[in-house]
Amino acid sequence: MIKVLYFAWLRERLNRSSDEVTPPPEVVTLADLVAWLRKRDEVLDLAMADPSIFKLSRDARIVPWDTPLAGATSVAILPPMTGG
């Protein structure tokens, strides 16, 4: 089981901060995981209409989208931050 964490405006839009999921065997990278999550959740799919703006974290480290999922305990989806 993997804990998927949502941050900032993505968390607000989804109205939840996390999900616990068990992806199927064909989900091997973080990109695969995001695609699988989007297929299962219309609100997440709409919120991530432009996935290129998001960063991903595997076990609290920012990593490329093609990072293997095997062994991960948590994945965070990080939308772009705005500041002031």
- Domain assignment present for 62: yes
- Domain assignment present for 39: yes
* Domains in the chain, number: 1
Give the residue-averaged pLDDT of 8-28.
97
* Mean pLDDT score of the chain: 96
Q: Kindly report, residue by residue over 23-60, the tens digit of the pLDDT.
A: 999 999 999 999 999 999 999 999 999 999 999 999 99
- On the question of pLDDT at 64 being above 80, the answer is yes
Give the residue-averaged pLDDT of 48-77.
97
- Domain assignment present for 83: no
CATH at residue 39: 3.10.20.30
- Domain assignment present for 55: yes
Backbone angles phi and psi of 10, in degrees to 5 = -65, -45
For 34, the domain range is 2-78
Global pTM? 0.94
**Strand, coil or helix: what is 16?**
coil
Cα-Cα-Cα-Cα torsion 33, 10, 46, 52, nearest 10 degrees, comes to -60
- Domain assignment present for 84: no
